[in-house]
């Protein structure tokens, strides 16, 4: 059986591309063989580049420089600081509703809710530098955001106030005289009583 062969004409631009690629790769391979005989160490510059790759060393690299206005950057950082400062204020309505819905009975869920309302803001106040870390990295606005940090602490203290009110309504905070009876001195009378 005779196989049908198909002849395809290759365009001249493709023939030239293949020829130049073969010339480049054979010359590089010969140089690499010579170098490998003299040195057993292979350098990155000795390895031939893949076809179509132009190394950056042959072209000068132009770094783009952006002219940023420092005032605009500082204003953006300060506005970011204020956004961080008011972030806990957004959770105040939710915590009010949650503390109202959990009730005032002495059960595990209302107690856990009240304890979380106290501990989470205190942890946030202690980790204030982590909250403002994106802004504090820039020295230029470090002293301009103290007002935002004060508002952040104030909002966290409002959350603690909600928790204290919740504990007071559950009668877990000793705030009446009857809560301190054990530490009261007994009353002594100087007069005598007559039994009839």
* pLDDT, tens digit, 9 for 90 and up, residues 144-179: 888 999 999 999 999 999 999 998 888 888 877 877
Spell 5-34 as b/e; 16+ CB within 10 A means b.
eeeeeeeeeeeeeeeeeeeeeeeeeeeeee
CA dihedral 79, 163, 119, 135 (to 10 degrees): 0
| pLDDT the model gives residue 87 | 92
Quick check: is 51 in a domain? no
* pTM, rounded to two decimals: 0.57
pLDDT-derived band of residue 107, with 50, 70 and 90 as boundaries? Answer: confident
**pLDDT for residue 33 is more than 60:** no
Q: What is the mean pLDDT of the chain?
A: 78
**pLDDT for residue 98 is more than 70:** yes
**C-alpha Rg value of the chain to the nearest Å:** 40
Quick one: how far is CA 133 from the chain centroid? 9
Quick check: is 192 in a domain? no
**Do 114 and 170 contact (CB within 8 A), yes or no?**
yes
| pLDDT the model gives residue 6 | 59
Quick check: is 42 in a domain? no
Q: Dump the DSSP string for 8-22.
A: -PPPHHHHHHHHHHH
CA proximity to 145, closest of 157, 128, 126, 160: 128
Q: Is 23 helix (H, G, I), strand (E, B) or coil?
A: helix
Domain, as residue range, for 121: 70-175
Quick check: is 83 in a domain? yes
**Do 131 and 149 contact (CB within 8 A), yes or no?**
no
Quick check: is 113 in a domain? yes
Quick check: is 131 in a domain? yes
Quick check: is 53 in a domain? no
User: Which of residues 45 and 140 earns the better pLDDT score?
Assistant: 140
Quick check: is 26 in a domain? no
Count of domains observed in the chain: 1
**Do 141 and 83 contact (CB within 8 A), yes or no?**
no
pLDDT-derived band of residue 25, with 50, 70 and 90 as boundaries? Answer: low
């Amino acid at each position: 059986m005779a196989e049908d062969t198909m002849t395809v004409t290759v365009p001249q631009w493709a023939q030239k591309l293949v020829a130049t690629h073969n010339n480049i790769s054979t010359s590089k391979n010969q140089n690499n063989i010579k170098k490998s005989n003299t040195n057993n160490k292979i350098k990155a510059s000795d390895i031939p580049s893949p076809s179509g790759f132009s190394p950056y060393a042959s072209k000068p690299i132009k770094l783009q420089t952006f002219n940023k206005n420092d005032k605009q950057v500082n204003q953006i950082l300060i506005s970011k600081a204020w956004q961080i400062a008011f972030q806990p204020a957004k959770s105040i309505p939710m915590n009010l509703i949650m503390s109202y819905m959990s009730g005032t009975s002495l059960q595990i869920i209302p107690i856990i809710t009240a304890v979380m309302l106290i501990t989470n803001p205190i942890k946030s106040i202690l980790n204030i530098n982590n909250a403002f870390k994106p802004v504090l990295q820039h020295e230029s606005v470090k002293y301009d955001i103290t007002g935002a940090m004060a508002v952040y602490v104030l909002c966290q203290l409002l959350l603690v106030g909600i928790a204290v009110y919740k504990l007071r309504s559950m009668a877990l905070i000793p705030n009446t005289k009857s809560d301190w009876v054990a530490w009261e001195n007994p009353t002594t009378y100087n007069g005598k009583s007559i039994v009839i």
